[in-house]
């Protein structure tokens, strides 16, 4: 016993050292990507799959840029390209909650992936996307970050079916909305416009942390010829595919007099990897569902206050102001070059 003590101490010291180094290594975030792929969705997915900060637990598909069926096939093409058939890819909603679907082949190519043909080897998971979200949130309580980069239909269905998941979700980092105008029209951003009722459910579900990565920052992250050239110089099928997507998007942008194409969905993934890429302000955000010109607008209260108007006889009198509780952190600024460098280096496999 006396002789074995130093050896035992040494062993315990070694165990402690291993445990400490394991603790020092940050564990990858468990994420679920809810997506309508989509060119910029494809880049967001490939960014995630090339990044050690996250582990993709599932990809759930929502109709938006393309139909639900085409989106599912596209997601499977992307996991095939990345050689990641181990990741469950599940279909979900077939249409928005309360309106007809609006698809965007105009912006994404007729197959949704810049008309680039990719093979499919991976198979779809038979589970219903919102059910898979519910299942994974219960399996990993307080560990799952949801990264919705399409209309919010699947997330709304999941929280409506099982509201008990809301406090068990670690964070929601969504691409959608804007607080300085829209891209569909003067007021609305496409993801929110494609299912305003779902978006209103998600913003008001009561998630502990919800980050809105909207047009205000997405429009500042412009992918240009420089990034295409950097990717063309890199070997491999993923860099090659992303360079081709970039070329397609840039050709489209030039038709509208722009020299760059916004990286909306990839930026939401970038914020998931590195929250310091953006500056956020806490705001109360509601989604307009009835406006004549503003259906689908994310209406953000910057001061988080509303006037208290009290009826006195035939008129209202302002008697003070009431605070409203913020439900989102809205991205208001972005370190765009740092993000683009991160995107390119990860796609290049570095
Ligand atoms: Ca998308």
Residue spans per domain, the chain? 27-347
**Spatial separation of the C-alpha atoms in residues 114 and 47, rounded to whole Å:** 17
Per-residue confidence (pLDDT) for residue 86, from 0 to 100: 98
Helix 237-255 to helix 225-232 angle (10° resolution) is 160
**Spatial separation of the C-alpha atoms in residues 58 and 349, rounded to whole Å:** 21
Give 280: exposed, middle or buried? Use CB within 10 Å, 0-12, 13-18, 19+: middle
Distance from the alpha carbon of residue 35 to the mean position of ligand 1, in angstroms: 6
182-214 confidence digits (pLDDT tens): 999 999 999 999 999 999 999 999 999 999 999
Say which CATH superfamily domain 27-347 falls into: Ribonucleoside hydrolase-like (3.90.245.10)
Distance from the alpha carbon of residue 155 to the mean position of ligand 1, in angstroms: 14
Distance from the alpha carbon of residue 309 to the mean position of ligand 1, in angstroms: 40
How is residue 163 annotated by DSSP? G
**Spatial separation of the C-alpha atoms in residues 237 and 227, rounded to whole Å:** 16
For residues 99-115, give the mean pLDDT: 97
With a CB cutoff of 8 Å and minimum separation 6, the contacts of 18 are none
Tell me what the pLDDT averaged over the chain comes to: 95
Helix 68-81 to helix 39-49 angle (10° resolution) is 40
Q: Which residues surround ligand 1, an ion (CB under 5 A)?
A: 36, 38, 41, 149-150, 265
262-272 confidence digits (pLDDT tens): 999 999 999 99
Distance from the alpha carbon of residue 322 to the mean position of ligand 1, in angstroms: 36
Distance from the alpha carbon of residue 127 to the mean position of ligand 1, in angstroms: 21
Distance from the alpha carbon of residue 39 to the mean position of ligand 1, in angstroms: 8
**Hey, which bits of 204-246 come out as E strands?**
210-213, 222-223
For residues 312-332, give the mean pLDDT: 98
């Amino acid at each position: 016993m006396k002789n074995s003590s130093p050896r035992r101490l040494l062993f315990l010291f070694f165990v402690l050292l291993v445990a400490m180094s394991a603790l020092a290594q940050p564990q990858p975030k468990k994420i679920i990507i809810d997506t309508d792929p989509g060119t910029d969705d494809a880049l967001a997915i490939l960014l995630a799959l090339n990044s050690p900060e996250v582990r993709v637990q599932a990809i759930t598909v929502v109709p938006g840029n393309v139909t639900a069926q085409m989106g599912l096939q596209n997601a499977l093409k992307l996991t095939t390209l990345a050689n990641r058939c181990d990741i469950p890819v599940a279909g979900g909603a077939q249409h928005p909650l309360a309106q007809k679907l609006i698809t965007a082949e105009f912006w994404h190519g007729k197959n949704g992936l810049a008309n680039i043909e990719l093979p499919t080897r991976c198979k779809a998971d038979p589970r219903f996307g919102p059910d898979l979200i519910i299942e994974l949130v219960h399996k990993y309580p307080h560990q799952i970050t949801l990264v919705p980069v399409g209309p919010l239909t699947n997330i709304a269905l999941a929280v409506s079916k099982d509201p008990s998941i809301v406090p068990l979700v670690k964070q929601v980092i969504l691409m959608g909305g804007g607080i300085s105008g829209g891209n569909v029209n003067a007021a609305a951003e496409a993801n929110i416009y494609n299912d305003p009722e779902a978006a209103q459910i998600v913003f008001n579900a009561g998630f502990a942390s919800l980050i809105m990565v909207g047009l205000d920052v997405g429009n500042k992250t412009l992918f240009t010829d420089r990034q295409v050239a950097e990717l063309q110089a890199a070997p491999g099928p993923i860099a090659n595919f992303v360079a081709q997507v970039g070329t397609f998007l840039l050709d489209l942008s030039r038709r509208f007099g722009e020299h760059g194409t916004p990286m909306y969905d990839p930026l939401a993934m970038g914020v998931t990897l590195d929250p310091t890429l953006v500056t956020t302000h806490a705001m109360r955000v509601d989604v307009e569902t009835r406006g004549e010109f503003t259906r689908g607008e994310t209406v953000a209260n910057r001061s988080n206050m509303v006037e208290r108007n009290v009826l006195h006889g035939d008129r209202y009198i302002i008697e003070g102001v009431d605070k409203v509780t913020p439900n989102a952190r809205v991205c208001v600024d972005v370190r765009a070059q740092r993000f683009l460098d991160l995107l390119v280096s990860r796609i290049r496999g570095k």
